[in-house]
Amino acid sequence: MSKLYFKFGAMASSKTANALMTRFNYEEKGNHVWLIKPDLDNRDDYLDENGNRVTVVKSRIGLSAVADVIRQDENLLERFETLRAAAPVDVIICDECQFLTGEQVDQMKYIAEYCDTPVLCFGLRSDFQTKLFPGSQRLFEIADSITEIKSVCRCGKKAIVNARLNERGQVITEGEQVCIGGNDKYEGMCWGCWQDRIKRGL
């Protein structure tokens, strides 16, 4: 039996860097890592010379790696078993795991429990309205190990809100749950600063 891990943090808390360093550590010891990422976040994808889309896990500090993309309607257990029939898989690392469906998190739990393969999920806890993402909710419910990757607000307190910013840098609280963007569109903040900026229209 292996474990399902959830390592969560706010925007810009080095989640992806942590995921890639974890991958490096496993590979350095000769383990085969299956690096995956849900297809909702495709901001770093590119087309190779044959026109095929390549999905990339990319950290702000410069680390990056090619990953397998996971569609919303895909069964992770089936995909894992197909892959493992062809090549060894010792550990699964998922970046942006908040975009997994609840069913896919259940499939990961099954893989950890019954296929003896650890599954490490890195992602956000909540959206720009402080509501849990579906994947994160299910991970809080059934992960064996839950760890916070901490980061700080500009004021020095711990950042817990992923504030969404408009093009003028003002905090916005209306819109779709998923709106992919990088450092210019989101900022990790403490609750107090988030509320203060909403009230003052900043």
What are the residues binding Zn ion (CB under 5 A)?
153, 155, 157, 190, 193
Which of residues 91 and 190 has its CB atom nearest to Zn ion in the complex? 190
Pairwise CA distance, residues 65 & 149, whole Å: 20
Cβ 13 to Zn ion shortest distance, Å:
14
Which of residues 19 and 190 has its CB atom nearest to Zn ion in the complex? 190
Measured in residues, the chain has a length of: 202
Please, is 123 exposed, middle or buried when counting C-beta atoms within 10 Å of its C-beta (0-12, 13-18, 19+)?
buried
* Residue of 27, 74, 96, 113 marked active site: 96
Cβ 161 to Zn ion shortest distance, Å:
9
Residue among 188, 78, 58, 182 at smallest CA distance from 122? 58
Residue among 122, 164, 169, 168 at smallest CA distance from 146? 122
Which of residues 138 and 164 has its CB atom nearest to Zn ion in the complex? 164
Which of residues 32 and 157 has its CB atom nearest to Zn ion in the complex? 157
Cβ 74 to Zn ion shortest distance, Å:
38
Cβ 156 to Zn ion shortest distance, Å:
7
Mapping DSSP onto H, E and C, the string for 53-96 reads EEEEEECCCCCEEEEEEECCCCCHHHHHHHHHHHCCCCEEEECC
- Active-site annotation holds for 96: yes
Residues designated as active site:
96
